[in-house]
Amino acid sequence: MRGQVLRPAADILCAGTGLVGVDVQPGGLCPNVVPLGAFEYSFRVPRTNERRPNGLYATNLAVSNSSWSYYHGLQVEWTKRLSRNLNFQGAYTFSKAIDTTSEATAVGAGDSNVNTNNARDVRALSRFHTPHRFTMYGTYRLPFFQGEKGLRGQVLGGWQFSAVVKLAKGTPFTVTTTGVDLNFDSFSETRPVLLDPTILGRGVNLPASSQIALPRSAFRTLTTADFNRPILGRNTFFIDGVKNVDFGINKSFPMPWEGHKLTVRADLFNAFNHVQYGFPSLAITNANFGAITGTAALYLPRNVLVSLRYQY
């Protein structure tokens, strides 16, 4: 007959299911239920019901605006009115967006869970934070054969060239791991422990070097010993940014009838066919952790559009 051992309530394998001094068979269930202390944990009784607003219901959803956010920005604009056949407008924005739970929205990609009751533990860059953004658009009226009569002036003169340039830093993302429920509340803390702080803030934007920029060795999976200890913050790395240039050229041909004209236009969207890569594999427990295997959700390869428009 196997011997018996004592498992006090403070034992993590028996807390909440037995009394101090009660004999329990090895591997068996503790015979009596007792309350858990403020800092007691139990693998057998996760205290799910005790943490619910109403224990009668399995799921409770609370929608509120109790989160907070800050936005700071500096914007510079430069506008040139039409002169010497050229006009343009450019804008640069330097900004910082901070919040507590932007991953809970439709743009979410990561984790906003915490393992303490302090909201400041989830304070971090917003999921949509874009520190640098530059946009510029303008037109240039080609000076060739302007005002020239005849067929050559009609065909070759009056063409107008336009361009739109969009450059933006990539948005941040969160490295995750498989769920570890540190406080047994049925919600997993899914961010790992960071072992190498020097990699924080890195851009992970090229498939050939993404796993070098985001090495698996820089992280560690959580254990119960990490309860109430700092873990990796939200949104501490950046995906590929936007580098897009669109070109267009057009000309209007007057028709013999008053108020009638024909416009010919050609557009090249993403003219240089720059690829914008998507998220790397985010879970450190994934064999492909750090690998980029796809493009961004809004990325479109080069697209050419030719159109005719007749106005009357």
Question: pLDDT category, 138, cuts 50, 70, 90?
Answer: very high
pTM for the full predicted model: 0.71
User: Do the domain assignments include residue 145?
Assistant: yes
**What pLDDT was estimated at residue 231?**
80
Nearest to 134 by CA among 217, 69, 78, 200: 78
Report the chain's mean pLDDT, rounded to a whole number. Answer: 79
User: Do the domain assignments include residue 25?
Assistant: no
**What pLDDT was estimated at residue 252?**
86
Share of the chain above pLDDT 70, in %: 70
Residue 294 scores a pLDDT above 70 = yes
State how many domains the chain has. Answer: 1
Q: Which domain holds residue 74?
A: 69-311
Residue 217 scores a pLDDT above 50 = yes
User: Do the domain assignments include residue 34?
Assistant: no
**What pLDDT was estimated at residue 7?**
43
Backbone φ, ψ for residue 163 (5° rounding)? -150, 150
Q: Where are the beta strands (DSSP E) in the chain?
A: 5-6, 23-24, 69-83, 86-99, 124-125, 132-141, 160-168, 172-173, 193-194, 219-220, 237-238, 242-254, 261-269, 303-311
273 and 199 in contact (C-beta within 8 Å)? no
Q: Count CA atoms closer than 13 A to 33's CA, side-chain side.
A: 4
Per-residue pLDDT tens over the stretch 246-281: 999 999 888 888 888 899 999 999 999 999 999 999
User: Do the domain assignments include residue 60?
Assistant: no
Per-residue pLDDT tens over the stretch 173-183: 989 887 677 76
User: Do the domain assignments include residue 198?
Assistant: yes
User: Do the domain assignments include residue 249?
Assistant: yes
